[in-house]
Amino acid sequence: MKAAKKTAPSRTLGRPRSESSRVALLKAAYGFVKARPVGSISTVEIARKAGVSTATIYRWWPNKEALLLDAFLYKTDSAPLLKAKGSPLGSLREYVLQVGRSFTGESGIVAARLLAAIQDNATLRKEFLERVYSPRDKEFRAMVRAAIRQRQLPASVNVNVFLETIFGPLLLRLLLRQEPIDRDYVLTVFKQVVAAYRRAQ
């Protein structure tokens, strides 16, 4: 979970890492990502706002982007996916709505900036995919397969394409359009796509 830099030297010798500094940095970083373009955020001001030294940042994170990603996860992981309830398709619908909500307001801004950042930074991209995208994608795919097993969707459905068709429009609104990603919108998209695939051959 944490970005351990060195291979744990000796278990507990010397002064332990300051938890308060860690949290202060994550909060400060998140605050800046909310407020300003990622490119305009400097390590010095994050450190200053957190009441911490820049050296402390680099002792625990390999670079600025890694800190920003952790800052994002610090907020996101604290509100994890609600466990499935009801039918597979019903659960999936809830999750899509949740993604829609996270694409709205300030968390939407942060998400857009993070998606931007990973286009330019290979290691950040890898981290993001491993820690954010893949776990959710895996879970979503399992749900779709369960829906197929329970005959909520026909067996011919291509799982990847199906999911991409559902989430793609949300991503497009997030990154390109100013129109809202509200509950109505998400449900409309969800229904249409489900209808399309359900009635396919």
Partner DNA sequence: CGCTAACCGAGACGGTACGTCCAGTCTTGCT
Partner DNA sequence: AGCAAGACTGGACGTACCGTCTCGGTTAGCG
149 versus 191: smaller Cβ distance to a second copy:
191
Q: In the set 26, 28, 29, 52, which binds DNA (CB under 7 A)?
A: 52
Binding partner of 79, given a second copy, DNA, none, CB within 5-8 angstroms per partner class: none
Which one-letter DSSP state was computed for residue 153?
Answer: S
165 binds DNA (CB under 7 A): no
Q: In the set 64, 93, 113, 173, which binds DNA (CB under 7 A)?
A: 64
Identify the sign of the CA torsion 54, 60, 62, 63: negative
Q: How far apart are the C-alpha atoms of 113 and 37, rounded to whole Å?
A: 7
From 2-10, 75-83, 87-95, 107-115, give the range in contact with a second copy by CB under 8 A.
107-115
121 binds a second copy (CB under 8 A): yes
Q: How far apart are the C-alpha atoms of 178 and 120, rounded to whole Å?
A: 24
Per-residue x/- mask for a second copy, residues 34 to 73, rule CB under 8 A? ---xxxx---------------------------------
59 binds DNA (CB under 7 A): yes
125 binds DNA (CB under 7 A): no
Q: How far apart are the C-alpha atoms of 105 and 25, rounded to whole Å?
A: 22
154 — alpha (psi -120 to 50), left (phi > 0) or beta?
Answer: beta
5 versus 177: smaller Cβ distance to DNA:
5
**8 Å CB contact between 19 and 74:** no
Q: How far apart are the C-alpha atoms of 89 and 70, rounded to whole Å?
A: 31
157 binds DNA (CB under 7 A): no
Transcribe 48-96 into DSSP letters.
Answer: HHHT--HHHHHHH-SSHHHHHHHHHHHHHHTSPPPPP-SSHHHHHHHHH
192 binds DNA (CB under 7 A): no
Q: How far apart are the C-alpha atoms of 95 and 84, rounded to whole Å?
A: 9
In the complex, the residues that contact DNA under the rule CB under 7 A are 9-10, 12-18, 21-22, 40-45, 51-56, 58-60, 63-64
In the complex, the residues that contact a second copy under the rule CB under 8 A are 37-40, 112-113, 115-117, 119-122, 129, 133, 158, 160-161, 164-165, 167-173, 175-177, 179, 185, 188-189, 192-193, 195-197, 199-200
